[in-house]
A and B are shown apart, each in its own frame.
Chain A
Amino acid sequence: MTEALATAADAAALTARTEGFQALSFTFSIRTSHGSMARRLDHLLDSLPVAARPAHTYAIVHLDRSEMPYRILFDTEEIAAVPSSAKAIDYLLWHVNRQVIERTGDLVLIHAGAVAGRGGGIVLPAPSGSGKSTIVAGLIRSGMSYLTDEAAAIDPTTGALHPYPKPLSLDQGSLRALADLDPPFDDAVVPPGSDESHVPAVRLRADSLASTCSPAFVIAPCFSPGATNRIVPVSRAQALVLLVESSFNLASFGPSAFLALAQVVRQSACYRLEFSDLARACALVAELVERAPQPQPQPQPKEQAQP
Chain B
Amino acid sequence: MNAGKGDRVLGGRFRPARRAGLLTVELDGEAVIFDAVTQVVHALNVTGTLVWHAADGTSTLDDLVTWLAGSYALPSDDVRDEVIKMVQDLLDIALLDDPQTSLPSKLPPIQ
Given A262-B25, A305-B23, 7 other A-B residues pairs in contact with their CB atoms under 8 A: A237-B28, A237-B30, A241-B41, A258-B36, A259-B23, A301-B25, A304-B24
Q: Which residues of B contact A (CB under 8 A)?
A: 18, 20-28, 30-32, 34, 36, 39, 41-44
CB-nearest residue of chain A to B49: A237
A302 at the interface (CB under 8 A from B): yes
Residues of B contacting A244 with CB < 8 Å? 32, 34, 39, 41
Give Cα A258–Cα B43 distance, bound, in whole angstroms.
Answer: 14
Identify B20's interface contact among A255, A265, A307, CB under 8 A. Answer: A307
Across chains A and B, the number of contacting residue pairs, with CB separation under 8 Å, is: 67
Residues from chain A with Cβ under 8 Å of B34 in the complex: 244, 258
Query: A268-307 interface mask toward B, CB cutoff 8 Å, 1 = contact, 0 = none?
Result: 0000000000000000000000000000000001111111
Give the residues in chain A near B43, CB-CB below 8 Å. Answer: 235, 237-238, 240-241
Interface of A is mostly: helix
A295 CB to nearest B CB, Å = 14
Contacting pair B27 A266 (CB below 8 A): yes
Q: Which of A265, A302, A303 has most B Cβ within 10 Å? A: A302
- CB-based closest 6 A-B pairs: A237-B30, A236-B27, A237-B43, A262-B25, A302-B26, A244-B41
Chain A, residue nearest B19 (CB) = A306
What is the CA–CA distance of A306 and B23 in the complex, to the nearest angstrom? 6
With a cutoff of 8 Å between Cβ atoms, the chain B residues found around residue A237 in the complex are: 27-28, 30-32, 43-44
